[in-house]
Amino acid sequence: MADADALLEPGVTGLPAAPDPEPPGPAAAAPGDESVMSLIDHLGELRKRIFRSIIAVAIASTIGYLVAPQVRVFLQRPLGSIPLQVLGVGDAFVIQIKIALVIGIILAMPVLLYQLWAFIAPGLTPNERRLIRPWIPMALLFFSIGVVIAYVVLPFAIQFLFSFTDDTLQARPAAGQYFDFVTTMFLAFGLVMEFPILLVGLSTVGIITSARLTSSRRMVILGIAIFAAVVTPGGDLVSPFVLGTTMYVLYELTIVFIRRSGK
């Protein structure tokens, strides 16, 4: 035993060496942080948000269907005494469905905005979520303002379009085309009012800056003019002019706001 002990190197005992400690595992995520999602998880989350949005629109459209006759009479007021014609057998029913659907989208807008926020929020940092969250209720307010602007502009657009009629070319508008014109204007103006909120969100995550928006002003003006001409129905000059002017004013105000926020 003495010889065996002598063969051991200095500082080494005959006892077995203790196993090395296991490396520490990954640090636990801080409370409130979202875990990394795979592509499949993202697609599943997107499908869930879309499904909930469709359910919300369907429920709100049911309410819209009940009040559609009263809304239809309200939307006909800008026409004055000009009657609407139903050309197809099922046109009246289709018109009521379209009005109910637009009402459903407007009523369900809070749910739609929340579902959109719930989908994109996990991809943001806590600071970005804190900065963007107050703009979600503002988006609902802006959408409502856009719908109101559309209704204010509607009589002027109709007056312009009907100014080309006379005794030999009388105005006898089809009901389906008229309500397509009205509902498209409402949705277009409502969605356009979300334009500044989109820009503010992009600036919050560092994609755009006030300097970049300023340097791109000419291209943006051209894009706004084309967009306003394409989106607004009817072919009149009033609605695209008002829509384009509104978008440009919002664009300039957004630049000022982003610049004051230090971006």
For the segment 25-75, what is each residue's pLDDT rounded down to a tens digit? 444 444 444 444 566 777 777 888 889 999 999 999 999 999 999 988 888
Whether the predicted pLDDT of 186 surpasses 80: yes
Give the domain range for residue 78.
38-260
Bridge partners of 174, per DSSP, are: 85
Residue 78: the pLDDT is 80
| Domain contains 21 | no
Residue 66's pLDDT is 92
| Average pLDDT across the chain, whole number | 76
What is the domain count for the chain?
1
The answer as to whether 155 is a domain residue is yes
Say if 133 falls within a structural domain. Answer: yes
96 contacts 65 by C-beta, under 8 angstroms: yes
**Residue whose token pair is 């209704």:** 151
Note the pTM of the prediction, 2 decimals: 0.64
Residue 33 located in a structural domain = no
96-109 per-position pLDDT tens digit: 898 899 889 888 88
* Averaged pLDDT, 163-178: 79
Would residue 5 count as lying in a domain?
no
Q: Which range in 100-104, 157-161, 212-216 is most confidently predicted, on average pLDDT?
A: 100-104
| Residue 43 maps to a domain | yes
In a domain, 20, yes or no: no
In this model, does residue 176 exceed pLDDT 70? Answer: yes
Query: Percent helix, strand and coil across the chain, each rounded to 5?
Result: 70, 0, 30
Q: For residue 177, is it within any domain?
A: yes
- H runs (alpha helix) in the chain: 2-7, 39-75, 91-107, 109-120, 126-132, 135-162, 175-192, 195-204, 210-215, 217-231, 238-260
- Structural contact between residues 33 and 27, judged by C-beta atoms closer than 8 angstroms: no
Residues 6+ apart with CB under 8 A from 212: none
Report the pLDDT averaged over residues 180-196: 81
Residue 55 pLDDT = 93
- pLDDT above 60 for 7: no
